[in-house]
Amino acid sequence: MSLRDRVTFPRFAAFTTGLTLTLVMLGVYTAATGSGLACSAQWPLCDNGLLPQTIPSFIEWFHRLVAMVTGWFIIGTAVWAWRRPETGTRLTATLAALLLPLQISIGAVTVTLNGMLPDGYSPPTQGAHLVVALTIFSLLVWTALSAREETGPTLERVRRALLVALGALVVTVLASRVFTPTPYGPAGQAVFYGAALLTVAALLAATRWLADSAVSRLRIATGTALTLLFVGMLLGRDLVFYTSTVRLVNAAAFLLAGAIVAAVAVLTRRARADGRVGSTVS
């Protein structure tokens, strides 16, 4: 099998999605270490040149390099989607590519203005940077899901996706600020967002597959769990002062999301069992 046969659009879209997840984790780590401002507030240059001179500068420079590569992969996914006869992936892939200039602009603002403007380097700007990144990632996940040819019983695929979501959500909570025994340092924050994005991907898959099942109404529940997860992720970026009350709200969002996912998993299993019994009786 040639390389051209191996590199299919579904695989390319999935790789782009994984690369975007890695980029978000790297971006969070870069911001948490303070390396975002290590290049003397220069963008796109670093230390008055193309190459970094210190370790913090290298972290910021490497983040920009990965961002550039990821950006071209996102654009490539959109172009490839339009070259395919199947049109189900065009809208989401195109929207992800169109959001790139906005994300790049916000990233440039956070490392160059550094407080010189009222809303330059501030929680709202960091929050906007995260929201756009989450939107791009979600669009890419949907693109990758739309490109795949699914096999096997629908409810079984939903159940597996929900189990992945539950496992990833446990890691998310353990790495979050809610779980105080775990240090919420740069590495911890990167793990937190990596696990949270994996949870997002699994919930999006479950939501998509539920649409084709006999219990499609459960999409409302998985959509609610996604919303609660987004709230927890935003609170992890210090958008507000993290008081004990905010910690309680954060914990409640995660716990409620987990309870919803677990409940949907149970209901899906029962629906699957009822379907087997019904087919046996008939």
pLDDT tens for the 282 residues of the chain, in order: 556 667 899 999 999 999 999 999 998 898 888 777 776 666 667 766 677 778 888 888 888 899 999 999 999 999 999 998 888 899 999 999 999 999 988 877 776 665 444 444 566 777 788 899 999 999 999 999 999 877 777 888 999 999 999 999 999 999 998 988 888 888 999 999 999 999 999 999 999 999 888 888 999 999 999 999 999 998 887 777 888 899 999 999 999 999 999 999 999 988 877 765 444 333
Q: How many CA atoms lie within 13 A of 40 on its CB side?
A: 10
Q: Are residues 78 and 179 in the same domain?
A: no
Q: Are residues 119 and 8 in the same domain?
A: yes
Q: Which domain holds residue 51?
A: 1-149
Q: Are residues 118 and 39 in the same domain?
A: yes
Helix (H, G, I), strand (E, B), or coil: what is residue 49?
strand
| DSSP result, 149-168 | ---S-HHHHHHHHHHHHHHH
Taking each helix axis from N to C end, the angle separating 154-175 and 186-210, rounded to the nearest 10 degrees, works out to: 160
Number of domains in the chain: 2
Last residue of a domain, one of 121, 149, 177: 149
Q: Are residues 156 and 142 in the same domain?
A: no
174's tokens: 């353990």
Instruction: Kindly state whether residue 106 falls inside one of the protein's structural domains.
Output: yes
- Residue (of 250, 249, 135, 241) closest to 192 by Cα position: 250
Instruction: Kindly state whether residue 282 falls inside one of the protein's structural domains.
Output: no
Q: Are residues 47 and 116 in the same domain?
A: yes
Find the distance separating the first CA and the last CA of the chain, reported in whole Å. 45
DSSP label at residue 138? H
